[in-house]
Amino acid sequence: MAFENFPSAGEQPPTFPQPEKKDRRNLITILLVVALIATWGYIIWDKGQTKETILQKDIQYAAVVTEKDTLQSLLDEATMRYDLLKTSTAKKDSAISSKDREIDQKKARIQSLLSNANATKAQLMEAKQLIASLNTDIQGYKEQIEVLKGQNIQLTQEKQAVTQEKVIVEKNLESAKTVIKEKEDLINVGSTLHASNFNILGVNERKNGKEKQTTTAKKVDKLRITFDLDENRISTSGPKELYVSISAPDGSPIAVEALGSGKFKTRDGAEKQFTHKIEINYTQGQRQTVSFDWKQNSNFAIGNYKIEVFQNGFKIGEGVCSFKKGGLFG
């Protein structure tokens, strides 16, 4: 059998103190309000910190951009000075060409650093140091160019001096050549031989082989021409050529090609026919006699025959012989 305890009619249920429950609720409410206030305070503080961070980053970014712009301006200025130097008319040597390559490589590295949108402070510092180094290189480059310009000016002046000296030497040489030519011509003229003591005979050849001098034109078989070459101390010893020109009484030159006749040039450049050419071996400073016979295929005419001797383009002597009509019937 089960027993259950039920309150009796006269008993009242136990009661809890109401003020304690109300105080707890108030405490919770206060805590919630404090928490809410703290949360909003944190949110406000955090937002302020975020703004500060963004502001700092903006300031840093602006500083980076300003520094990059400044470095870019410095690079552009250095590049402009370098380009002006490169257009210099000074002749470049191997050292200058090597410096060109170094400067170009350094410029390319600086531009690469400045073109990087996310360049770090260390990279900007490297760019700044490279620009300072680049300016030093460009200054050295300028000094080398100035040295080369000075050398070029000196070389130009030396070249002008040498050119002027060359002109003077050439003028002196031409003058010397002219003097030498004049002296050579003088010596050449002075070395020309002179012929004198002409003896021109008509010779009659008899059947018995004997010869007889004659002045009768129809009896003359040949001419025997003899003359002397006077002493000449300028003309050198050796072979000489003499040209003998014989003119008939009518003034026409006697020239028989089959007998060795031909033409030669006189000193003034004119051509003249010669009747006979003689080659002699001359001895300097000595008188020398020349003799030869001239026999033509036709009969000799009545009148004067003129014999002229030429050497070195000059006429060096002449002689005349006369043939007359012989007997009653000529």
Q: Is residue 317 part of a domain?
A: yes
Q: Is residue 6 part of a domain?
A: no
Half-sphere exposure of 34 toward its Cβ, with a 13 Å CA cutoff? 6
Distance CA 31, CA 22 (A): 14
Q: How many CB atoms lie within 10 A of CB 179?
A: 10
Q: For residue 142, what are the contacts with CB-CB under 8 A and spacing of at least 6?
A: 81, 85
So what's the pLDDT on residue 1? Answer: 44
So what's the pLDDT on residue 5? Answer: 52
Single residue among 141, 172, 190 that ends a domain in this structure: 190
Asked if 169 and 41 sit in the same domain, the reply is yes
Asked if 89 and 206 sit in the same domain, the reply is no
Single residue among 155, 190, 225 that ends a domain in this structure: 190
Q: Is residue 12 part of a domain?
A: no
Q: What is the DSSP letter of 57?
A: H
pLDDT in tens, the chain (330 residues): 444 554 555 555 555 555 566 677 777 888 887 877 878 777 877 777 777 776 666 666 666 667 777 888 887 877 877 777 666 545 556 666 777 788 888 888 888 888 887 878 888 888 888 888 878 878 877 777 777 777 778 778 888 888 888 889 888 888 888 888 777 777 778 889 999 999 999 999 998 889 999 999 999 999 999 999 999 999 999 999 999 999 999 999 999 888 889 999 999 899 999 999 999 999 999 999 999 999 988 889 999 999 999 999 999 999 999 999 876 555
Instruction: Give the number of domains in the chain.
Output: 2
Asked if 251 and 297 sit in the same domain, the reply is yes
Asked if 68 and 182 sit in the same domain, the reply is yes
Asked if 183 and 234 sit in the same domain, the reply is no
So what's the pLDDT on residue 102? Answer: 81
Distance CA 201, CA 305 (A): 11
